[in-house]
Amino acid sequence: MIIYNSLEEFNSVKHNLPKLSFVPTMGNLHEGHASLIDIAKKTDNEVVSTIYVNSLQFNDKNDFINYPKTLDMDIELLDKKGCNHLILPDPSILDNIKSIKAPIKSTKLCGAHRPGHFDGVLTILNRLFEIINPHTVVFGKKDYQQFLLVKDFIYEKKLNINIIGANTIRNTNGLALSSRNILLTEKDKTIAPTLYKTLKDIEINKVYLNSEYLKTKSDYLKSFGFKVDYLISCDTESLEESYNINNNDLLIAVAAHLGGVRLIDNLVISKL
Ligand code: PAF
């Protein structure tokens, strides 16, 4: 794997590179990221990844400061997975950066609790797409709203980029892999899988789906000590709240804090 320690280093060689499949990350990589590299490797392209903790997408300064950093281990994992190029953007990435205003659906779900978050995500991704000019990009669907907004952004801006959404990788207990999981206490690690269990429970009982039913599920999570930002049933494209499971597949999405750690998860349930 070739490591570029600055954008200048990458820019000086990029014109000689073949088509690229791109996996953007903020580091602290785990098996979920490894699966994105595996998917990128299945394309006919060389694989490029970035590790950059993007200050623009953190509305909580402490969250940004405490974001886990494990560069040596990350490099080892990417190398082992056969990633061809790793760019470690330097602060010049922010020079004259063009701010992107995310569309209205960015204000729903996570966006309602993290104002400006998706503006920051799209702003940095737009810059990375300009620099890397990828043929394909791979995003995990654990961050479903992010995946959707990037897909829409590529379509709206008519970017010549193919986007692949990857299924969430889970521990055997169901907990979605996340860089934040290492911040959980041992006790909270046993409670955290309740999030996915609750989503699966909603799926099993989808004939009863309505706002009151979801409220009981949200209260159930609270009884375990979760501070629930949202537990919502919504349209898989518009993210508008919906319970119309007779006619449409629906996204059930949850975000909740456990001992100060913010966890998200989701499940698409098929129509009746
Ligand atoms: O999903 C992430 O890790 C980040 O939001 C991304 C896509 C790397 C942009 O900073």
How far, in Å, from the CA of 206 to the mean position of ligand 1?
31
pLDDT number for residue 147: 98
229-272 residue pLDDT tens: 999 999 999 999 999 999 999 999 999 999 999 999 999 999 99
Output the domain CATH number for residue 140: 3.40.50.620
The catalytic residues are: 33
Number of domains in the chain: 2
Residue 140 CA, closest ligand 1 atom number: 1
* 91 shares its domain with 193: no
pLDDT number for residue 20: 98
Output the domain CATH number for residue 231: 3.30.1300.10
The neighbouring-strand residues paired with 50 are 24, 87
Non-local (6+) Cβ contacts of 153 within 8 A are 100, 102, 122, 125, 126, 159
pLDDT at 63 over 90: no
pLDDT number for residue 62: 87
How far, in Å, from the CA of 48 to the mean position of ligand 1?
14
pLDDT number for residue 68: 86
Q: Give the percent of the chain with pLDDT over 90.
A: 95
User: Could you say which DSSP state residue 241 is in?
Assistant: B
pLDDT number for residue 66: 84
159-172 residue pLDDT tens: 999 999 999 999 99
Burial class of residue 61, CB neighbours in 10 A (0-12, 13-18, 19+): exposed
Burial class of residue 193, CB neighbours in 10 A (0-12, 13-18, 19+): middle
Distances (CA, A) of 110 to 20, 25, 231: 30, 19, 11
Q: Is residue 19 part of a domain?
A: yes
* 54 Cβ closer than 6 Å to some ligand 1 atom: yes
* 123 Cβ closer than 6 Å to some ligand 1 atom: no
* 7 Cβ closer than 6 Å to some ligand 1 atom: no
171-215 residue pLDDT tens: 999 999 998 898 899 999 999 999 999 999 999 999 999 999 999
Residue 50 CA, closest ligand 1 atom number: 8
Q: Is residue 272 part of a domain?
A: no
* 28 Cβ closer than 6 Å to some ligand 1 atom: no
pLDDT at 145 over 90: yes
* 155 shares its domain with 200: no
Instruction: Quote helix, strand, coil % in the chain, to nearest 5.
Output: 45, 20, 35
* Residue written as token pair 């499949």: 21
How far, in Å, from the CA of 271 to the mean position of ligand 1?
30
How far, in Å, from the CA of 213 to the mean position of ligand 1?
33
Q: Is residue 172 part of a domain?
A: no
Ligand 1 pocket, mutate which of 28, 56, 106, 125 (most atoms under 8 A from CB): 125
User: 221 is in which domain, residue-wise?
Assistant: 179-267
* 232 Cβ closer than 6 Å to some ligand 1 atom: no
How far is residue 124's CA from residue 55's CA, in Å, rounded to a whole number?
A: 10
pLDDT at 223 over 90: yes
* 105 shares its domain with 48: yes
Mean per-residue pLDDT over the chain, rounded: 97
Nearest-CA residue for ligand 1 atom 5 is 121
Backbone angles phi, psi at 256, to 5 degrees: -150, 145
The H or E element spanning position 240 is: none
* 88 shares its domain with 125: yes
* 204 shares its domain with 239: yes
- Looking at 166, 200, 220, which one is the last position of a domain? 166
pLDDT at 67 over 90: no
- Looking at 143, 166, 189, which one is the last position of a domain? 166
Q: Is residue 174 part of a domain?
A: no
Distances (CA, A) of 201 to 196, 205, 206, 208, 230: 8, 6, 8, 11, 17
* 152 shares its domain with 30: yes
**Is residue 225 helix, strand or coil?**
coil
81-105 residue pLDDT tens: 999 999 999 999 999 999 999 999 9
* 143 Cβ closer than 6 Å to some ligand 1 atom: yes
pLDDT at 59 over 90: no
